[in-house]
Structure 1
Amino acid sequence: MALALNSIIPHTTALSLSTSLPSPKKPSSLQFQQPHNRRQITQIVQSTASSSTNTTLSDVKLQIQEDRNFNPTSTSATAWSEFARNVSGEWDGYGADFTKEGSPIELPENVVPGAYREWEVKVFDWQTQCPTLANPEEPVLVYKNIELLPTVGCEADAATRYTVIEKNIGGVNNEVSAFAYQSSGCYVAVWPGEEKGNKLLELEYCLINPQDKESRVRIIQVIRIENMKMMLQNTRVFCEQWYGPFRNGDQ
């Protein structure tokens, strides 16, 4: 299974792509200023793509670099600035894991309150936070995947973080091997990794609801590379709502 960038190009007004494979580094803190104004998002433009990757496709700008930093042109810099405004903020919602067959995976028993077991209720989804901050001046994006422990009743007002994973796109701490974005806030990222001696690829798709610009879905497909074969290992799905400007998860 592979990410087909050509299938993305016809539906984007601006793309930026990095092809470097940097070594993972310690994530940096979020130091740049957050955008102050909420976005105004235009409708996704459908356009017809040429089969040649060397041809400019309508207003599509495609840039491929061997450098580990993104250096967008003036046109794509404008698109990046708009993307940064649209993607930044506090995105809260729910996330669930699925097997390669598509069956939901139940949360570990040790994180589920006893009351659910007494009621014979199975819990499959995490309450999640995804504080996201993109620098409008530089092609750098940082976000956190935060999973909160399930709660019962009034405990919901005191949710406890279970896991916090920080992700870096662009800049000296870049962790992606490929990245494409649209000014609306949609993006695709490829995250390389390793597990038990096998290489992994996480293919992340972030899709904005065209009818509700403050609602989005993120889908992450985990691909295992074993004996020169690519196999789907599992899938994660996050349904998220924009709740306000970036606050680094403090709510």
Structure 2
Amino acid sequence: MSYATGAAKPPAARADTGRPAASFWRPQQRSVTSKTRGVAAERQERRLKAVETAAAEAATAAEATTAAPPPADTWAAFAAAVSGEWEGVTASFGPDGSPIQLPEYYVPQAYRDWGVELFDWQSQSSMLADEGGLTATDRRMMPTVGCEADAIAYTQDARQLFSTGPAGPPPTVAADGSYSTGPFDVSAADCHKAAFEACLMLPCQPGGQQHRLRLVHNLARLGAERRWQLQDVELHWERYDSPYRGKLELSGCGGGMKAFATGEPLAADALAGAWVASGVRWTADASSSSSSSSDGTALQAEAVAGEQWSAEGLEPLLLHPLRAWSCCRACGEGGSDISLAAGVLRDEAGTSMALATRRLVGGRLAAVELLTLTRA
């Protein structure tokens, strides 16, 4: 699978022009030999076997119960699949689906002088799921000219996505490492911004690298009426690099995944037709105190199997590169009835899709879904 690069590339430097060569800064370049590739392949196969074993145990446990929160076996499988160092590329798209250029103050003067447009960040994410919950540290490497080791390294954002304790929101996760997270309540007048994140794992062949797509809907209260509206959608295209180690060093200069922001978007007809859904659905019950978050919202889980699904009626539908799509609809008073969806085709033939949905009513969480769709 290949994707078009997301930045207009400047020509390589020439003695007669001094024109800059483009690259992302990635210190500590690593040489790769056949031996290290073999070790990496063996490590990846061991990880895949561990994740598959944990997922199988979680599936067996799920046959006995569909109650929320997730059984311990599901959390263990999820933790094995999601934890680690993930390297990738990040791009943002506007409410109309068009790619957004990097802020000018992150772009070196040499690029601006030659009219080079940059849309993609090189990124890295450290994730750890343990008995306390799921934490993540996301880093974005700033573009530089050449591989200057003294350049500014990255922006950094540390987050707590889930807590397995009674004070945190119940984890909405799947055994394969997928998850959906975001605020449970955005109804307060002093709540001005909200980010809703969906992580969708893709199939991995033995010996291959695990890939995933994280889609983040960023919303804000805008306009005179202070209605909730979509600001942008972030796409984080990532592959598994190594076990978690709170990564402080970054990969070598000039490597990494290809930019994708200006690549060909998904065709609308790829979603057409009937699909069959399987997975899990959580629904909120504010009257129940079991499995509740700190604001009193409880989540009850149920298995989804054999339900019909159609993309008809999804509006507005944003079509992205990487065979991905998303939808954000805000209606009702103050735009507080919010429906979010994020999906990606799981295979070249377009016969399987990963889907995450999230719905808020009156600004409070009503339902979450993590589903796998297959063509009917």
- TM-score (normalised: structure 1): 0.64
How many residue pairs align between the two structures? 192
**Match for residue 238 of structure 1 among 233, 236, 239:** 236
Overall identity of the aligned pairs, in %: 31
| 1:9-88 equivalences in 2 (<5 Å) | 38-40=47-49, 41-42=51-52, 61-63=66-68, 72=70, 76-88=71-83
- Return the alpha-carbon distance in structure 2 between the equivalents of residues 97 and 202 of structure 1: 13
- 1:67-146 map, 5 Å: 72=70, 76-135=71-130, 138=131, 140-146=133-139
Q: Taking structure 1 as reference, are residues 162 and 232 closer, same or farther at Cα in structure 2, changes over 3 Å only?
A: same
Query: Are 1:193 and 1:199, in contact at CA under 8 Å, matched by a contact in 2?
Result: no
1:60 Cα offset (Å): 6.6
Q: Which has the higher contact order (CA 8 A, sep 6+)?
A: 1
Q: 1:147 matched to which residue of 2?
A: 140
Q: Tell whether the 8 Å contact from 2:217 to 2:230 is kept in structure 1 after alignment.
A: yes
Q: How much has 1:231 moved relative to structure 2?
A: 2.3
| Secondary structure in 2 matching 1:201 | strand
C-alpha displacement of 1:81 = 0.6
In structure 2, distance between residues paired with 1:60 and 1:117? 58
Give the CA deviation at 1:198.
Answer: 4.7
Q: Which amino acid aligns with 1:220?
A: V
CA apart distance, 1:124: 0.9
Partner residue in 2 for 1:223: 219
Give the SS at the match of 2:47. Answer: coil
Per-residue Cα deviation, 1:27-82 (whole angstroms, up to 9, x for no partner): xxxxxxxxxx624344999xxxxxxxxxxx85673416xxxxxxx5xxx1011111
Matches within 5 A, 1:147-186: 147-155=140-148, 160-168=152-160, 169-171=162-164, 177=169, 179-186=171-178
Amino acid aligned to 1:182: A
| Whole-angstrom distance in 2 between the partners of 1:172 and 1:77 | 13
In 1, are the aligned partners of 2:94 and 2:233 still within 8 Å (CA)?
yes
Q: Does 1:209 align with 2:202?
A: yes
Contact 2:132-2:164 within 8 A present in 1 as well: yes
**Partner SS for 2:135:** strand
Structure 2, gaps ≥5 residues long: 1-45, 57-61, 250-376
**Counterpart pick for 1:249 among 247, 250, 257:** 247
Aligned mates of 1:193, 1:164 — CA distance in 2: 26
SS in 2 for 1:154: coil
Give unpaired runs (5+ residues) of structure 1.
Answer: 1-36, 46-56, 65-71
In structure 2, do the counterparts of structure 1 residues 59 and 117 end up closer, same or farther at CA, with 3 Å as the change threshold? farther
Contact 1:113 1:150 survives alignment (8 Å) = yes
Q: Write the distance in 1 (CA, Å) between the matches of 2:138 and 2:248.
A: 13
**TM-score normalised according to structure 2 size:** 0.44
| Closer, same or farther: CA 106–231 of 1 in aligned 2, 3 Å | same
Shift of 1:166: 1.0
Pick the structure with greater CA Rg.
2
Does the C-alpha gap of structure 1 residues 220 and 180 become closer, same or farther in structure 2, counting only changes over 3 Å? same
Tell whether the 8 Å contact from 2:134 to 2:163 is kept in structure 1 after alignment: yes
